[in-house]
Amino acid sequence: MKKLFGVLGNPIGHSMSPVMHNDLFSLYNIDAEYLPFLVKEDELRDAVNGLRALGAGGFNVTIPHKSSIIPFLDEVDELAASIGAVNTVVNKDGKLIGYNTDGLGFLKGLDAYKTKIQSQKILVIGAGGAARAIYFTLAKEKPIQIDIANRTLEKAVQLIEECPYSISSRGLTLNHASSELGEYDLIIQTTMIGMEPNITEQPITLEYLNENSLVCEIIYNPLETRILREAKSIGATVQNGIDMFVYQGALAFEKWTGIFPDIQRMKENVLGQLGGK
Ligand code: ATR
């Protein structure tokens, strides 16, 4: 019998996950279908119970439900619980278990560049939900230092205080981080600044960027944000948000099927979808 999978969000029409996962189900001959579900905030509980009743194999969760879904699940793994957000749910014999593959997806995406996290000094720009998933996941890997730069300094400081893994960290203003940018091996931009339609914006100036640094984005629309374009012109290595998106999906697919899927094929699928938009 065909297994049901899906993604719950609002809005959900532009999600690239259904085409990406359905392509994998057909590639691996799995009799399953992945659908986008538009779910309003006050109907999240019913949607989750409905999927449970229908015997769905699992589902993804996206904005705005990543945190509010937690009380409706039967179990949440340790990392997702510390992040306070779930993006992947697995139905294990009727029990709904929540995971967070966003931060791990980011980390896996870095493997392609053979980055040695433990020897890195890292700067995270932003202190929102995406920053939290990436910061906690990276902190668990014990790099030398992870600083957080944010427009609202108190939010950066609060994030550092809430991190459950011991790590050397400083909260910085965006200007302070800009002036010390040369110190960092890895810089991760996690805000929406630079995303369509605000493509001329960037969160920090790159005057002091070290050309040996790797600058990463979580944005993939546009594929090259202003900060990546400038970093590239300085000679730094850059990485857009496609890797994180594809790897978070790959890790979810692995949790549902036991198969770690073909990353290259997923990337081509997503780039094809973006090109068609
Ligand atoms: P998400 O969950 O997608 O990460 P969020 O929780 O709304 O989104 O967080 C957005 C991040 O982008 C925050 O770090 C926010 O900074 P503040 O904490 O100061 O609000 C940052 N951000 C959004 N718009 C910004 C802007 N115009 N300039 C600087 N930072 C901005």
pLDDT tens-digit readout, 84-94: 999 999 999 99
Q: What's the pLDDT score for residue 222?
A: 95
CA distance 252 to 249: 5
Q: Ligand 1 pocket: which of 102, 192, 195, 221 to mutate (most atoms <8 Å of CB)?
A: 192
The residues that are catalytic are 66
Q: Which residues of the chain have pLDDT under 50?
A: none
Q: What's the pLDDT score for residue 276?
A: 65
- Identify any residues that bridge with 3 across adjacent strands, giving them in sequence order: 32
- Pick the residue whose CA is nearest to atom 8 on ligand 1: 128
Cα distances (Å, whole numbers) of residue 90 to 80, 107, 153: 13, 21, 36
Q: What's the pLDDT score for residue 114?
A: 60
Q: What's the pLDDT score for residue 148?
A: 98
- Identify any residues that bridge with 36 across adjacent strands, giving them in sequence order: 7
Distance 195 CA to ligand 1 centre (A): 12
Helix (H) or strand (E) holding 99: strand 95-99
Q: What's the pLDDT score for residue 115?
A: 65
Q: Ligand 1 pocket: which of 86, 136, 151, 217 to mutate (most atoms <8 Å of CB)?
A: 151
Ligand 1 pocket, residue 198 CB under 6 Å:
no
Ligand 1 pocket, residue 157 CB under 6 Å:
no
> Which residue blocks in 68-149 are alpha helix, DSSP H?
78-83, 102-111, 129-140
Q: What mean pLDDT, rounded, does the chain reach?
A: 96
Check residue 69 and report its DSSP letter: T
Q: What's the pLDDT score for residue 112?
A: 58
Omega of the bond prior to 222 within 30 degrees of 0, cis? yes
Ligand 1 pocket, residue 191 CB under 6 Å:
yes
The model's pTM is 0.94
Q: How far apart are the first and last CA of the chain?
A: 33
